[in-house]
Amino acid sequence: MIEPGQPAPEFTLRDQDGNEVSLEDLRGRRTVLVFYPADFSPVCTDQLNVYQEVLPDLEEKDVQLYGVSVDGAFCHKAFQEKLGISIPLLADFHPKGEVAQKYGVFAEGHGVAKRALVMIGPDLTVEWAHKSPSPLEIPGANLIFDAVGS
């Protein structure tokens, strides 16, 4: 897994609406990439719902969240609408898991991203990273707040 202090790897991914989001778009703001295995799975649903609940508090601290999984943009759109969440979801679809691989959080044997959080600072350097010990363990929002320093 990527270590704090390293430059965040470059990427350009499409969000749930088909818009491109690149690493450079994150410059000037603290961002958390929320890597998760799959849309519509029970644990991923719970995880994103938890983060949606605290999203206003994170935005007050000028922290932007992006969900990242190997699902396509159309699947992300349906997932976002089903959950009623506003967190943008990025499609690491093709080449499958390329961004998760760059960040060291791709589960090769399963073909999905591992459950992980990567905080990127305003200067596009990795400030903090956390990988769940199990795909069934949701990293609590408290971990993000602790990393922000609140």
- Active site positions, annotated: 44
| CA–CA distance, 60 with 62 (Å, rounded to integer) | 5
Q: Residue 134: which of 115, 111, 119, 118 has the closest Cα?
A: 115
SS3 73: helix
Q: Residue 47: which of 133, 120, 137 has the closest Cα?
A: 137
